[in-house]
């Protein structure tokens, strides 16, 4: 039986928070492309069926859930931080920045943020970090789905610009095929220059 993913939202409502946003990101691990965050505010009658941590869903189920969330959520915000900015401020700070950007785009504004992880973000609202929150909170699970699908679509667009890297298949993650493409072609402007696996190629003089 699927656990009750509404437990934290229910606790928040009993504490006086009528609008709660779940916040999550996708893309901290890849060697290329942006980190994408999403923030989602749900109505109390939003159906739990079909919703889970995006990593546990097949692509077909994830896309179906994405469409339901977009149609029924009270508010959805997306924040994107590109590879160049990631290299400047590091991936952790870039993920926090993407989350803050996502929350800033919500309307109406939430009074409480449920954040996947063990950290808070720079935003003037009450915040509750939840480790593994994408499998414990329906709002965070929905945010993880929005972030993942949005980022995958961005990487498909990146594939059209740089088809020889195979971004349509691995989405920038360090798969053997991606590493082989990097060894053959060197990094492209979408690669994160400070990440292991890219940095070493640049140090040997491969252009970016």
Element (H, E) at 41: strand 35-41
Element (H, E) at 70: helix 59-72
- The per-residue pLDDT for 163 is 97
Name the pTM for this structure.
Answer: 0.95
What stretches of 49-125 adopt beta strand conformation (E)?
Answer: 75-81, 112-116
- The per-residue pLDDT for 205 is 66
In this predicted model, what pLDDT tens digit does every residue of 158-172 receive, in sequence order?
999 999 999 999 999
Looking at domain 7-203, what is its CATH homologous superfamily?
Ribonuclease H-like superfamily/Ribonuclease H (3.30.420.10)
- Residue 134 phi, psi dihedral angles, 5° rounding: -70, -15
CA distance 160 to 181: 15
Residue spans of the chain under pLDDT 70: 1-2, 205-208
Copy the structure tokens of residue 39: 């923030």
Read out DSSP for 155-186? HHHHHHHSGGG-HHHHTT---HHHHHHHHHH-
Place of tokens 């059209």: 160
CA distance 152 to 43: 26
């Amino acid at each position: 039986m699927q656990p009750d993913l509404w437990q934290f939202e229910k606790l928040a409502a009993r504490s006086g928070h009528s609008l709660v946003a779940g916040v999550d990101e996708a893309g901290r691990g890849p060697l290329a492309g942006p980190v994408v965050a999403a923030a989602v505010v749900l109505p109390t009658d939003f159906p739990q069926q079909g919703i889970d941590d995006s990593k546990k869903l097949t692509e077909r189920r994830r896309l179906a859930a994405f469409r339901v969330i977009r149609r029924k959520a009270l508010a959805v915000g997306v924040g994107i931080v590109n590879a160049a900015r990631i290299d400047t401020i590091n991936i952790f700070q870039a993920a926090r920045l993407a989350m803050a950007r996502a929350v800033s785009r919500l309307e109406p504004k939430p009074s409480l943020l449920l954040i996947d992880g063990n950290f808070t973000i720079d935003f003037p609202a009450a915040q509750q970090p939840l480790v593994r929150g994408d499998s414990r909170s329906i709002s965070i699970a929905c945010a993880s789905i929005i972030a993942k699908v949005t980022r995958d679509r961005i990487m498909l667009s990146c594939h059209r610009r740089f088809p020889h890297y195979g971004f349509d298949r691995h989405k920038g993650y360090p798969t053997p095929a991606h590493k082989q493409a990097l060894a053959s072609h060197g990094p492209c402007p979408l690669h994160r220059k400070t990440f292991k696996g890219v940095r070493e190629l640049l140090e040997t003089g491969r252009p970016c």
